[in-house]
Amino acid sequence: MNAVVRTLELARDRVTPLLGPRWAGYLHEFVWFGLKELAACVFAGSFLFLLLISGHIQIPGLARYDFLFLGAIVIQLALIAARLETWREVAVLSLFHAIGMGLELFKTSPEVGSWSYPEPAFFRIGTVPLYSGFMYAAVASYLMQAWRILDVRVSRFPNLPVAVLLSVAIYANFFTNHYVMDVRWYLAAAVLVLFWRARVHFTVLTAERSMPVTLAFFLVGFFIWIAENIATFFGAWVYPHQQQQWAIVGPNKISSWMLLVIISFIIVAALKQVFPTSKPR
């Protein structure tokens, strides 16, 4: 870590004559922000790496999806051993795993068929391999890691019961939109109204920065959409339009991920703010 600090400080000193101290400082802080964001993606990044190499690893008697499931458990245990996550946080991740599995079971059912998992797996429930739940847990893991690494706090957080009701409505719409009108854009409008004044504050180096919470929702949803395209390219799951050959997942999925991020954010915010641990941060 000290070597990284010295290298970045040296780079800042070298670009200062070109950009001036103010902009060189901004660039230095932005690079640090990117590095800390990468650190916050430790579970998601490790799992994505596992996905990339899974097609090149052949273990007799072990299906690829099962390899991903067992590998995700190893990653989770490693994070606990390294004290990057606590058992309390793992309990929250398990909640996201269950939320994701419920959605997966519905979306992959023959009656709905929004996407599918074409490869065999021993560790599965119905049409869904168990590793898929970790993809939802990865979103929550990122939020919790970012909360710690960037010293995140939220101001003007809306009334928690109302926020919870909104998250329940968002989750329900993922199911009901196959039978009645899809109200995601009405829900998005409700999010804007409810979180209009809320801001997320974070510290990269010394100065505290902030942005609207709604912008944070969109940015996280956008980068999940990028990760989704990478994941489907390597066969994590298959959408109907990808049956013959891989094709990009349409940007309309960003709205779905954004809404899912809102559910994750509300639960993590409750964990961090409404039910804080007794241990000081």
Instruction: Identify the band that residue 1 occupies on the pLDDT scale cut at 50, 70 and 90.
Output: low
How far is it, in rounded angstroms, from Cα 167 to Cα 136? 15
Domain span at residue 23 reads 1-40
78: pLDDT strictly greater than 60: yes
Tens of pLDDT, residue by residue over 114-158, are 999 999 999 999 989 999 999 888 998 999 899 999 999 888 888
Q: 118 and 173 share a domain?
A: yes
pLDDT for position 18:
83
Number of domains in the chain: 2
Instruction: Give the mean pLDDT of the chain.
Output: 88
pLDDT for position 232:
92
The gap from C-alpha 169 to its chain's centroid, in whole angstroms, comes to: 20
Distances (CA, A) of 271 to 13, 153, 243, 264, 266: 40, 12, 40, 11, 9
Q: 163 and 25 share a domain?
A: no
pLDDT for position 276:
41
188: pLDDT strictly greater than 70: yes
pLDDT for position 280:
41
How far is it, in rounded angstroms, from Cα 96 to Cα 216? 19
Q: 185 and 241 share a domain?
A: yes
* 158 domain-assigned: yes
Total residues belonging to the chain: 281
Q: 5 and 46 share a domain?
A: no
Q: 125 and 264 share a domain?
A: yes
Q: 201 and 73 share a domain?
A: yes
Closest CA to 170 of 221, 212, 133, 127: 221
Both tokens assigned to 196? 């209009």
Q: 87 and 205 share a domain?
A: yes
In 3-state terms, what secondary structure has residue 112? coil
Residue 152 CA neighbour count, 13 Å, CB half: 27
How far is it, in rounded angstroms, from Cα 217 to Cα 60? 42
* 259 domain-assigned: yes
The dihedral of CA 97, 102, 274, 205: what is its sign?
positive
Q: 5 and 141 share a domain?
A: no
* 134 domain-assigned: yes
Per-residue DSSP letter, 281: -
278: pLDDT strictly greater than 80: no
* 84 domain-assigned: yes
What are the residues whose beta carbons fall under 8 Å from the beta carbon of 238, sequence distance 6 or more? 115, 116, 117, 118, 232
Q: 7 and 74 share a domain?
A: no
Q: 68 and 202 share a domain?
A: yes
* 143 domain-assigned: yes
Direct distance between the N- and C-terminal alpha carbons of the chain, in angstroms, rounded to an integer: 21
* 238 domain-assigned: yes
* 280 domain-assigned: no
Beta-strand runs (E) in 19-88? none
Question: What is this structure's pTM?
Answer: 0.87
Beta-strand runs (E) in the chain? 124-125, 128-129, 153-155, 199-203, 208-212
* 109 domain-assigned: yes
Q: 9 and 116 share a domain?
A: no
Q: 3 and 117 share a domain?
A: no
The gap from C-alpha 158 to its chain's centroid, in whole angstroms, comes to: 22
